[in-house]
Amino acid sequence: MRLLKYLLVIFLLTRLTIIYAQSTDLEFEHFTTADGLATNWMIRCPIAQDTQGFIWVGSDNGLHKYDGYNFTVFTHNDDDSTSISSNGIRAIHKDSKGRLWIATISSLDSWNPDTESFIRYSFADSLGSIYSILEDNKGNLFLDFLKTLKKFDPETGTVIKSYNQNDKDKILALANNYVPCAYMDKNNILWYGTGNGLIKYNPQTSEIKLFELAAARFYNYSDKTVFAIAEDISGRLLIGGERSLYYFDRKNESLESLRNLKNNSLSIFAPEMSKSERLYYGYYIFQSPTSKEYWIGIEQGGVNRFDSSGNLIKEYKKDFTRSIFEDRSGVLWLGTYSNGLYKANPSGSNFEPKGYGMSKLNTLSGQHILAVKEDNSGNLWLGTEEGLYKYNFKSKDLKQYSDQTGNVRGLGSGRINFIFMDRKSRIWVGTWIGLSLYNPESDSFTTYYIDSKNKDAANNLFVEYEASPGNLTFGIWDSYKNYVRYYSFNLDEVSGKGTFTYNPDFYPTYALKHNGGKIKEISEKTFAQDFPNLTFHSILEDKNGIIWEGASEGLFKYNPINHQYKLFTTKDGLPVNTTGGILEDNGGYLWIANSAGLLKLNPDNDSFIHFGKEDGLTNNLFEEYKAAYKSKSGLMYFGGFNGLTVVDPERFKSNTVKPEVLITGIKIFGKSLSITEDGILKKSISLTKNIELAYNQNDLTIDYVGLHYKNPGK
C-alpha cells in the first residue's frame, strides 16, 4: 500500500500543467558553488539535455548533472576506470540516437545511463583536447582536435577516417593558428571561425576557402576574427565578429555586414551607416526554436536579446558569452566563463505595470489598491488608502489627488473605496467621507454627503449601482448591523445639487446577457435568501451564461437556468477559500483574485492553475471587492495590498511538455541501493522496470524528480 501511494503521487505529477509567460523581460536565476557547482570557472561551459531530461553542464573542474533541485558532480578518479577521463570539459554532444558524448582535455567519453558511469575512448596518437564534437547527417561524429580531424563511428566506438593532415595544417595556417569555433551545416560542410576570417572546409573533397571579413559588403571596421557561427531557423548562416554581425550567402559565397537581424530581406543592409548607430557583434549566436528570438553574446559585455524580426528587446549586462541552450520545456540556460550558470525565468514584469510601459504606476505612495477603472478619455484611475491617481496612457502622466499632496481639489477623502463610471461616462469616486463627481474641465471634484450637516457620519460609500442612465444607487456598509444600507441618488443637472434618499427595500439586480433570454436578471436578495451562509465579494456572468461569485467561503458557480450550483474550496484544490475580483479574458478563461495569488480557470472543465510569487507575481494578497477591471484593450488589472497587478492573457501560454517523472534513488531501511551485477539493482533505478525484494525488506524510501525546469517548485 505504501508503494502504491508513492506511485500515485508520481502519476499525479505527470498530469501537471504548467503555464509560462511569453515575456518582454526576464529575470535570471544564478547558480554558483553555493548552489552545488564544483566551480564557478566554466570556461567553455557546454550545456546539453539527455533523453531522460537531465541537464548536463561542463566546467573546468568536473561535469554536472542537474535534476532541477540538485547538482551531481562527476570528477576524474585515477583508481576508477569508469570515472570521467578528465575534469576539464570542452564539449558535450547528444547524438541523433540520444547518446551523450563528452569531450575532455584528454579524451572522448560517453555516458552509460544503465551503470551511471563513463566509457573512455583512447586514440593511438596523442592528440590532446577535442575542441568540438560535430555530427553529420549520417550520424557520424567529427572530432575536431587542434592539429587533426577524425571521423568517429559511435556504433563501433572507432575512428573510421583521419582526414588529410595537410588539410588541417593548411586550415591552421590560414587561421593564424587561432580557431575559436567550428560548425557543420546540413550539407556536411565544416565552417571554422578563425583569427583571419571564415574558413569553409569540405572533408570529402578537401576544398578549403578563406573568406575575410574585410571583403564583406558594407564592411567599414577593422574586423578580422570570427568568434561565432550559427544557422538560424530560416537557414541563414550568421557570423559573429569582433565588431559586427555578418550574413554569409552560401549561394554566392559572400559576406554582408548586418546592422540588425530582420527576416530574410536584404533591404535593411543599407550601405549608409550613421556614426551614432549601434552595431551588434557576437561572441555567441543563438536563435530560440520556441520564441524565435535571437540572442547575441558579447565578450565581457553581456548578451543582447532580439525579437524574431531583429528588433532589440533588451541588453543584459551579464557575463553570458560562452554558451546558450534551450531545453525541451523552453527554458534558456546561459553559460559563463568564470561566473557559473544562469537560467532565464519569466520576470515579475509580466504582472507589473513596468512590463507594460507603465513604470510610473510602480511609484504610488499608497500601494494598497482598492479600486481600478478606465474612463473613455484614455485615463486609468486608481484608488488607494492614501489617495486617488489618474494615469494617462498616451502622455504617461500620473496625477495624484490626495490630502498628503494638498492636491485634493474637492475630493471628499484620500481613502478611496470605489471608482465608478456611469452610462454617461461620468467618473464617480466613493470615499471614506462622501461621494465625489469628477469634472474634467476644471480637473476637480464635487463631493456630496448623505448627511451634509455631519460629514463624518454615515458617509463611507463603497457600493455603486446604476439601473438605468442616471438612476444611481450607492451603498454604505453598516459594520454594526452587518448589512448594506442603500441610498438612491439624484443629481439636478441644472443646479448641480445632489440628493440622497434612503431606500431600505432596495436590492441590486444583475441583468444577464448570455442566458438565451430564459432568465433576464438575478437579484442580490435572491442570492441572500438561497445562500445565506455565503459572503459574496464579486459577481461575473461568463460568455456561456454561468454566474461566478467570489466569496469568503470559496468560489461559487451557479447555472441560473437549471439552478445547479457548486462551491469550490480548498478541498477542491483552491489555495485559499477567500476569493475576490473575477474577470473573463477574450478567450473565455476566468482570472480570479484571491488572498494567495491569481487563479486562471477553464470554465469548460473547471480546471485551474494558480499563480503565485514563484511565477513572478509580486502581489499575492489581493483586494476582495472592487479592485478588478478589464480594459478595452483586453488587459486586466487587479489591485492588492502591494500595488497593481497587470495581466495580458496573450503572454501566458500553456506549456504542453509534461514533466519527465523519474525515480532517482531507492533506500531499504535508510540505506541506498547500489548498482551491482549480482545485487538487487543491476542498473540505474531510473531505467529499472522492476525489482525483487524479500518479504522483510519492507521499509522503502523512494526518491523521484519531475524534470521540468520552468518551475521545479510547482
pLDDT for 10: 33
Q: Cα dist. 328→587, 590, 655 in Å? A: 27, 29, 10
Q: How many CB atoms lie within 10 A of CB 233?
A: 11
pLDDT in tens, 32-55: 999 999 999 998 899 999 999 999
d(CA 22, CA 612): 17
Mean pLDDT computed over 557-575: 90
Q: For the chain, report the end-to-end CA distance as a whole number of angstroms.
A: 26
Bridge partners, 461 (sequence order): 476
d(CA 268, CA 262): 8
Q: How many CB atoms lie within 10 A of CB 195?
A: 15
Burial letters 445-476, b for 16+ CB under 10 A, else e: bbbbbbeeeeeeebbbbbbbbbeeeeebbbbb
In what helix (H) or strand (E) does residue 599 lie, and over which residues does it extend?
A: strand 597-602
pLDDT for 625: 66
pLDDT for 277: 52
d(CA 327, CA 94): 12
CB 101 within 8 A of CB 108: yes
pLDDT for 458: 61
Mean pLDDT computed over 195-206: 93
Average pLDDT, the chain: 85
User: How many residues belong to the chain?
Assistant: 714
Is the pLDDT at 58 greater than 60? The verdict is yes
Is the pLDDT at 4 greater than 60? The verdict is no
Residue in 250, 332, 318 with CA at minimum distance from that of residue 290: 332
SS3 of 74-125: ECCCCCCCCCCCCCCEEEEEECCCCCEEEEECCCEEEEECCCCEEEEECCCC
Mean pLDDT lowest for which of 75-84, 267-276, 608-617? 267-276
Q: Which three cell numbers stand for residue 623?
A: 483586494
The model's pTM: 0.77
pLDDT in tens, 250-307: 999 999 887 655 544 333 333 444 444 556 667 889 999 988 898 988 766 688 888 8
pLDDT for 256: 86
SS3 of 128-191: CCEEEEEECCCCCEEEEECCCEEEEECCCCEEEEECCHHHHHHHHHHCCCCCCEEEECCCCCEE
698 secondary structure, DSSP code:
-
pLDDT for 561: 86
625 secondary structure, DSSP code:
S
Residue in 712, 708, 704 with CA at minimum distance from that of residue 663: 704
pLDDT in tens, 376-432: 999 999 998 888 999 999 999 999 887 766 677 888 888 898 999 999 999 999 988
d(CA 193, CA 553): 65
Mean pLDDT computed over 462-472: 84
pLDDT for 670: 93
| Residues contacting 584, CB < 8 A, separation 6+ | 540, 542, 543, 590, 591, 630
CB 535 within 8 A of CB 552: yes
- CA angle in degrees (0–180, nearest 5) for 389-390-396: 120
pLDDT in tens, 319-354: 777 899 999 888 999 999 899 999 987 766 678 887
25 falls in which pLDDT band (50, 70, 90)? confident
Residue in 45, 74, 47, 49 with CA at minimum distance from that of residue 60: 45
Q: How many CB atoms lie within 10 A of CB 541?
A: 20
Mean pLDDT computed over 434-439: 92
DSSP assignment of 398-411 equals EEEE-TTTT--TT-
Mean pLDDT lowest for which of 148-157, 479-488, 574-583? 479-488
**Could you tell me what percent of the chain has a pLDDT over 70?**
88
Bridge partners, 335 (sequence order): 323, 341
**What is the separation of C-alpha 625 from the centre of its chain, rounded to a whole number of angstroms?**
29
- CA angle in degrees (0–180, nearest 5) for 257-263-269: 30
DSSP E strands: which ranges in 222-279? 226-231, 237-241, 245-249, 254-258
Q: Sheet with 226-231: list strands edge to edge.
A: 226-231, 237-241, 245-249, 254-258
pLDDT for 512: 83
Q: Considering Cα of 28, then 34, then 37, then 42, what sign does the dihedral take? A: positive
What are φ and ψ of residue 524, in 5° steps?
-65, -30
181 falls in which pLDDT band (50, 70, 90)? very high
d(CA 354, CA 644): 10
Q: Which three cell numbers stand for residue 382?
A: 486608481
Q: Cα dist. 608→572, 605, 636 in Å? A: 10, 9, 18
Is the pLDDT at 490 greater than 80? The verdict is yes
pLDDT in tens, 494-530: 888 999 999 988 888 888 888 877 777 887 777 777 7
CB 202 within 8 A of CB 189: yes
pLDDT in tens, 117-137: 999 998 866 567 888 999 999
pLDDT for 537: 82
pLDDT in tens, 647-670: 988 877 666 678 888 999 999 999
d(CA 654, CA 285): 27
CB 180 within 8 A of CB 193: yes
3-state secondary structure of 363: helix
CB 246 within 8 A of CB 256: yes
Are β-strands 597-602 and 590-594 bridged in parallel, bridged antiparallel, or unpaired?
A: antiparallel
- CA angle in degrees (0–180, nearest 5) for 623-626-629: 100
Q: Which three cell numbers stand for residue 243?
A: 565588431
14 falls in which pLDDT band (50, 70, 90)? very low
Q: Which three cell numbers stand for residue 550?
A: 467570489
d(CA 93, CA 539): 55
Residue in 368, 366, 373 with CA at minimum distance from that of residue 640: 368
Mean pLDDT computed over 597-601: 91
d(CA 389, CA 377): 15
pLDDT in tens, 295-322: 988 766 688 888 887 777 888 877 777 8
Is the pLDDT at 457 greater than 80? The verdict is no
